[in-house]
Amino acid sequence: MLGWARKSGLAAIGAALTVQPVMAESLSDALAMAYRTSGLIEQNRAVLRAADEDVAQAVAALRPVINYTLGANYSNRMPNDGGSLAASLSVGLGLYDGDRRKLGVDAAKETVLATRAALVDVENSVLLNAVTAYLGVRRAEAFVELRKNNVRLLTEHLRATRDRFEVGELSRTDVSVAEARLAAARSGLAAEEGSFARAREQYRATIGSYPGTLLPPPDPPSVPDSEQEARAMAREHNPQLKQVQHQTKVVDIGVERAARSRLPTLSGTAGMEFNDDGDGTASVGIQFSGPIYQGGTMPSALRKAQAQRDQVRAQLHTTGLMVDQQVSNAYSSLAVAEAGIESSEQQVGAAQLALQGVREEFQLGARASLEVLDQEQELLDAQTNRVSVEIDRHIAAYQILDAIGVLTAESLGLDVPIYDPQAYYDAVRGAPSRYASPQGKKLDRVLRAIGQE
């Protein structure tokens, strides 16, 4: 297992960052806010509720259909001019259709499961984007502070160089080199400030508000010991893969329904009619029907369903390969960052000692001004690299969780109300009459709880 016990090196660059106020934002705070305010998550929750209603409609298709009709007629033809009233009530019930309607219920249920997996995938993506935005601000802020410190050092170096030029110890060339390096440092600072501004805007777009002072992130989350173990977990939990698995079942059912379209249907009807003179009639009937010739529509529909099945099965294979690749890429990024942490720390330490020595030798006249400037640039590069590998290590760990499919509010233990997709489904799956049944009243409570009314 990679070294998770190592404390985050971001704390080591705290001196390079601005002083934190009393109120500061943690990574958990940012993730919780992103979860609560994400319009994308809300959008996909609504998509899921619509899929739940498809189950209700499929179940309703198994039940009787009752209709009424009221009519009024007026005639001025002699000698029996006047009006008449009529009313009728009819009941229809499908008795047999080759189980096509029951298969429709099964397909709708599998669609719900696929849509739930899509919602989990969206949640994973939203939280990963929030992590990336949070650490992006931390990275940009650290780079700005390093650049500011570099400008201060080069300003001091230019002052010292000018002083020594005035007394004849250095040439005009030394002064020009120092001035050029300071101008370049100021340009680099402006560029990093621009990157910081963009990082803040990305944070706002992802999380919902501009960042305050961001606390150093905690140690990266634990991940599986090996890439193979992570791949096995991803094959079981990755929501993109689960979504296509359920979609595969949907198209399999679609092929079966299309194959049964040739089977006959049997339905029963009953009705009553009344008019204003008190007369009424009642009727009961049964109908048996089936297709004979429809111009090739049904064979075409079956072939289309089979083609869609083949498409989704192929998609299932490619999605599995894509998930494996996501896991592999995340582990590769993590390994690179882990390998770079220790070497970057050594590089910073060596660069600091080298700069100190070069400065002392410069004061004694044993080093040129350009050598001091080159060593300061090397130190800046080392410090920048150290910040980057620390950030990259955190992002890679969360990318692994995303690839596995467990980067969710519940798995991370965020302090937010966890959305329960089962609640709405349980309220509507029996196709309740909203205003006339106990199930309908339960649905009212669910809708109010999720803020839809």
Q: Choose among 344, 343, 367, 345: nearest CA to 355.
A: 367
pLDDT digits (tens, 9 = 90+) for 393-403: 999 999 999 99
User: In this model, does residue 386 exceed pLDDT 70?
Assistant: yes
User: In this model, does residue 295 exceed pLDDT 50?
Assistant: yes
CA angle at residue 444 from 441 to 446, to 5 degrees? 115
DSSP letter string, 439-450: HHHHHHHHHHHT
User: In this model, does residue 197 exceed pLDDT 80?
Assistant: yes
**Given phi > 0 = left and psi -120 to 50 = alpha, else beta, which region is 226?**
beta
Integer Cα distance of 426 and 437 in angstroms: 14
Give φ, ψ of 210 to 5 degrees. -70, 150
Integer Cα distance of 336 and 343 in angstroms: 11
User: In this model, does residue 368 exceed pLDDT 80?
Assistant: no
DSSP state of 366: S
HEC assignment per residue over 187-250: HHHHHHHHHHHHHHHHHHHHHCCCCCCECCCCCCCCCCCCHHHHHHHHHHHCHHHHHHHHHHHH
What is the reported pLDDT for 5?
33
User: In this model, does residue 317 exceed pLDDT 60?
Assistant: yes
What is the reported pLDDT for 16?
41
Query: What is the reported pTM?
Result: 0.83
Q: Which CATH class is domain 9-65+100-263+299-419?
A: mainly alpha
Q: Choose among 369, 373, 377, 372: nearest CA to 175.
A: 369
**Residue 76 binned pLDDT confidence (cut-offs 50, 70, 90):** low
User: In this model, does residue 319 exceed pLDDT 90?
Assistant: yes
Question: In sequence order, what are the residues at sequence separation of 6 or more whose Cβ sits closer than 8 angstroms to the Cβ of residue 59?
Answer: 105, 429, 430, 431
pLDDT digits (tens, 9 = 90+) for 249-293: 999 999 999 999 999 999 999 999 888 776 788 899 999 999 998
Query: In the structure encoding, which two tokens stand for residue 387, read together?
Result: 């910040």
* Amino acid symbol at 91: V
Q: Where are the domains of the chain?
A: 9-65+100-263+299-419
What is the reported pLDDT for 8?
37
